[in-house]
Structure formats: structure tokens, C-alpha cells
Structure 1
């Protein structure tokens, strides 16, 4: 499925310690897809549109992790609220895929063993970072 959609950011997060995740989870195959993408039935994405942020060990408040991300002033608060609704106040890291609208209702995949899908949010390239 092709999930490209301009102006939308898809967000995933983890509470797993980054160091505990095997390198194989992030290794790309011949098609340039890693285990994460395969787990979510993502057949292609532009790596230039991906951003990740997190802490080396343990967890931190979601705002501390999403704040430094690109244009987070336009979607950060909504992401924080949704993660809290899922039940987590602290996270270890995030995956952001810009100009991409992942549709979990189509794939029926909302989480794998390391990351949870948060949702899709509009973003504004004129926005500042979340303070």
C-alpha cells in the first residue's frame, strides 16, 4: 500500500530501551525496507522524510523527545495527548514519517514488539519546534 500524503506526519513511539532492540530490526533488505516497515506492511517510503529521536537509555517525558523534532509546534501537543491516552507518560524514542499517512485501519497493525502506532497528524513546515 502506498501511504504518501503531503502535509501529514505518521508517528510511532516506543517504551523499549533503544539498546535492547536488535540491530536486525533496523537493517534494510534488498528493497531498502527494515523490519519495522515490513511489520507495518509499508512497502516503500522516502528515508529523507523519516526522523527519529529518543534517549540512549530509559524513558523521558514525551515532550522532551518530540520537542526537538522538525515542525513539532504544529503537531507535538496532539501527539503527546494521544500517547497519554494510549497510557504512556514517558517514552524512549519516536519514529516520524513526514508526507506519509499510515492507515492502521487498513493494515490492522497498530503495534509490533517494539513500537506503537500513535496516529497521523497534519504538520506545517512554517511551524517552530515545540517549546
Structure 2
């Protein structure tokens, strides 16, 4: 579905992932500030019209990078998607990342939006996840 400001890709049991290699502290606060519609610059850049903030999770390092699995492991339900996300990021050419954005119950489709990355983050992919899966650090 398309709206005036972008796309809506809600889909249950799918998590969309983006990552960055930029130091979190080097990204301007304005990147995360919401407009009157509650959408931040990141979402506008990726032509995301709406998402449920309750379904978003971020993790990472304030400065520098960490091994991919160290960033993904503590995230919700990571046991069900972490390995697939890690492999895809490695395929994109990175072995360490600074931070990760996860949007649960959302299947972002860059083939429709034509946006795969912005100046700070790259889209990794959309992966199935299981709500009964724990995080890797819990197992």
C-alpha cells in the first residue's frame, strides 16, 4: 500500500533490519527527531509512511563497531533470525557494525521503494522471526 508520504509494509512474523557502520555519536540528533506525523528522518529517507514505534528495537555501540553477532544477540527473538541477518550483512561486505535497527511485523521492500540505503544505514533484509524464540543471550 502506498500513501502520500511513502509505503506501508506491515506483515506479521517478519522483522526488517537495517545496520550502520557510522559511530552512533556521529549521527545528528535530527536524524531521529519525529515530524508532526511522528515519522523521523530515517523513516522518511526509506519512504516509510508509518510504523508502530512499539515494534522498533535498536541496539549497538555509542562509538566504534562491534562484531555483528554481539549487536544482534541481545535483541528480542534474535535466536530465530540472527544468523540470517549476520550472513546477509557479511554478504554486503561488513563484519562489524555500530548499530542495528529492527522493525518487527514489518516487511520493508526496497524493490518497491527504490531505497536500499541512506547516508547512515543500509537495509539488510526482511526475515521471518518467531515470537516464542528467545534472544541468543538468554539461551
TM-score (normalizing by structure 2): 0.93
Partner of 1:31: 37
Looking at structure 2, the residues matched to 69 and 34 of structure 1 have their Cα atoms a distance apart, in angstroms, of 22
CA offset digits 1:98-129 (Å, max 9, x no partner): 00000001011100000000000000011121
| Structure 2 counterpart SS, 1:79 | helix
| Structure 2 counterpart SS, 1:63 | helix
Aligned pair count reads 131
Partner of 1:110: 116
- Structure 1 runs, 4 residues or longer, greater than 6 Å off: none
Match of 1:9 among 12, 15, 32: 15
| Structure 2 counterpart SS, 1:64 | helix
Match of 1:18 among 14, 24, 30: 24
Partner of 1:78: 84
TM-score (normalizing by structure 1): 0.99
**Cα displacement (A) at 1:2:** 1.4
List runs of 5+ in structure 1 lacking aligned partners. none
**Cα displacement (A) at 1:130:** 2.0
- 2:52 pairs with 1:55: no
